[in-house]
């Protein structure tokens, strides 16, 4: 079975939408029925600040969120003109950001539901989408700077 025909360029939005819905469902589950005890991997943690729980005044937070989402949306549109594959990292970042933004008025902060106790790190699937998109962009940009680098797109299945 060739999975490329199911995960081609046209299905990026379906995959990202599924991740978005899964994140929203996990947040709802953690918020409405907080896990007990709170010392496992699946927890409920509310983050009123920005990344890594850094506090930020509300006006600065709103301004930063609007500028950040607008910038990523602009890059998404520019990359989408090239191909859906180039736009995927930006779509992941947008979906993750929107999911985290939705939390703020509903619960007073971003809902995190995963906990890595060795690192003391709380996060959610939206955070993974944002970081994954950013890492993909950085790696792609680094590869484009390598002399004689040829990005080869595999042949599409018939």
Pick the closest to residue 105 from 58, 140, 143 (CA basis).
Answer: 58
Q: Phi/psi zone of residue 53: left (φ > 0), alpha (ψ -120 to 50 degrees), beta?
A: left
Angstrom distance (rounded) from CA 123 to CA 99 = 13
Tell me if residue 103 is catalytic. Answer: no
Inter-residue long-range contacts of 14-19, CB under 8 Å, 24+ positions, other chains counted: 16/88, 16/91, 16/92, 16/95, 16/129, 17/95, 19/92, 19/95, 19/125, 19/129
Catalytic residue check, 112: yes
- Euclidean distance between CA atoms 76 and 27, whole angstroms: 26
Asked if 56 contacts 49 with a C-beta cutoff of 8 angstroms, the reply is yes
* The one catalytic residue among 2, 23, 39, 127: 127
d(CA 143, CA 72): 21
Q: Could you say which of 23, 39, 103, 112 is catalytic?
A: 112
> Which residue reads 């609007």 in tokens?
66
Catalytic residues: 112, 127
């Amino acid at each position: 079975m060739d999975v490329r025909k199911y995960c081609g360029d046209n299905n990026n939005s379906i995959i990202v939408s599924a991740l978005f819905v899964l994140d929203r469902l996990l947040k709802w589950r953690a918020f409405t029925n907080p896990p007990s005890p709170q010392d496992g991997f699946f927890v409920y943690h509310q983050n009123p600040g920005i990344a890594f729980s850094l506090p930020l005044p509300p006006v600065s937070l709103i301004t930063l969120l609007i500028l950040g989402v607008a910038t990523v949306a602009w890059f998404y549109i520019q990359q989408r003109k090239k191909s859906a594959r180039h736009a995927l990292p930006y779509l992941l970042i947008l979906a993750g950001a929107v999911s985290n933004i939705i939390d703020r008025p509903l619960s007073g902060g971003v809902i995190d539901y995963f906990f890595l106790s060795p690192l003391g790190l709380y996060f959610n699937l939206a955070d993974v989408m944002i970081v994954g998109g950013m890492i993909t962009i950085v790696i792609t940009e680094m590869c484009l700077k390598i002399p004689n680098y040829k990005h080869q797109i595999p042949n599409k299945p018939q």
